[in-house]
Amino acid sequence: MDYLANKYLRFRKTPSTACTGCGLGINHKAVLQAVYELGLEVEDVVWGTSIGCAGRQTFGMWKGDGFAGTHGRVYAIARGLRLALPPEKKIILTVGDGDAFGIGLLHLIHAARSNADLTVVVNDNLGYMSTGGQYGWTTPLGTRTDSSPYGMYEQNLVREGMDVLGVLQHAGATFLARHVSMDGSRATGSIKKAIQNKGLSLVHMIYPCPTNFGSRELGTRDALSIYNWIRERSAPLEKAGEDTLWATGVYHDASNSRPEFSEDILKNVEKIRRAAAV
């Protein structure tokens, strides 16, 4: 991580304040690795985050310009910003699952509908962990959290036929992938494709939270236990079986197939402006 940290991160913010054993750092590194492999420099990217563990831990780490939006609204902010920035400037958002799939889902759907050129990396710790460990919209059925003490029994967004990635695909997202933290270079590969797509890309990254999710569901804060628990429930798409909770890989790649939000709007504005000037 050192060469990535030296190149891209602020010393003031490293090491992060995430709990020992937290998988968030691995996800963060996968994004930085993708940025590095694409040859992007600090000035090429504006980094946005939001709330919760993902927001607090990734805000201000990027050496360049950055922001953290309020609960779930970062997609609307980023769309406004997208219209103001030059098209070659990348906007990368590292957000949490509550922010993206709960409070922010409406704004995310509209970011997908309009195909705004944003790369959204959803760091999913399987619930609301920065508030102590409550269930979220991707918490697996049957698992225990502080607000699902009898096991999660609410319908959620990772069930067969109700996958949030399906919702986003139908809403118009042009690149969608899912990974777990342990996917390494496969995850980095997907994030690279996401950044390269001129449109709304989202990579859903499940990561282990030993402090809250692990301790409630597995009864231990031992990092290895929760890492193994997630690993056992994930498999690459082509090898996914009936017990697979998280099939990993690229779900939908329609990169560069649809007009991008800001370029499209600016083109139309220019047309109207010219007509008005005549």
Partner 1 sequence: MKRYLETGNFAITEGAILAGCRFFAGYPITPATELAEAMSLRLPQEGGIFIQGEDECAAMHLCIGAALGGYKAMTATSGPGYILYADPYGWAIGCEIPLVVVNSGRVGPVSGITGAPGQGEFYLTRYPTQGGNFETIVLAPNSAQETMYMTVKAFYLAERFRTPVTILADQLITDGFEDISVPENEGEMKEMGFEVYPRRVNNGPVFYPPTDEIDIPPVVLGKNTGALCSDWTPTEEGYDIEEVEAHHKHAYRLIYKVRNHRDLVEDLYEKTHMDDDPDLVVVSFGTPSRVVNTAVKKARAEGLNVGALRLRHIWPFPDELFSTPRKYLCVELNWDGQLVREVQRAAPKDAEVHFTGICGDLPSIADLLETFTKILQGKALERQGWKMEAW
198: contact with partner 1 by CB under 8 A: no
HEC states along 208-225? CCHHHHHHHHCCCCCHHH
Specify the length of the chain in residues: 278
Answer with the entry of ligand SF4, partner 1, none that 22 interacts with (C-beta below 5 to 8 A by kind): ligand SF4
172: contact with partner 1 by CB under 8 A: no
CB of 241 to ligand SF4, least distance (A): 27
Answer with the entry of ligand SF4, partner 1, none that 266 interacts with (C-beta below 5 to 8 A by kind): partner 1
Q: Are strands 200-206 and 175-180 parallel, antiparallel or unpaired?
A: parallel
223: contact with ligand SF4 by CB under 6 A: no
Residues in contact with 250: Cβ distance below 8 Å, sequence separation at least 6, in sequence order? 175, 176, 177, 190, 193, 237
**Alpha helices in 15-96, H assignment, sequence order:** 24-37, 52-58, 74-84
Answer with the entry of partner 1, ligand SF4, none that 24 interacts with (C-beta below 5 to 8 A by kind): ligand SF4
Residues in contact with 268: Cβ distance below 8 Å, sequence separation at least 6, in sequence order? none
109: contact with ligand SF4 by CB under 6 A: no
Number of Cβ within 10 Å of residue 12's Cβ equals 8
CB of 204 to ligand SF4, least distance (A): 15
Q: 92: which strand partners?
A: 47, 119
209: contact with ligand SF4 by CB under 6 A: yes
Give the residue, chosen from 19, 38, 40, 103, that forms a contact with ligand SF4 under the rule CB under 6 A: 19
210: contact with ligand SF4 by CB under 6 A: yes
Residues in contact with 226: Cβ distance below 8 Å, sequence separation at least 6, in sequence order? 21, 208, 209, 210, 213, 214, 217, 218
26: contact with ligand SF4 by CB under 6 A: no
219: contact with partner 1 by CB under 8 A: no
Binding footprint of partner 1 on the chain (CB under 8 A): 12-13, 42-43, 46, 51, 56, 59-60, 63-71, 73, 76-86, 89, 106-107, 109-110, 265-266, 268-270, 272-273, 276
Binding footprint of ligand SF4 on the chain (CB under 6 A): 18-19, 22, 24, 53, 125, 129-130, 209-212
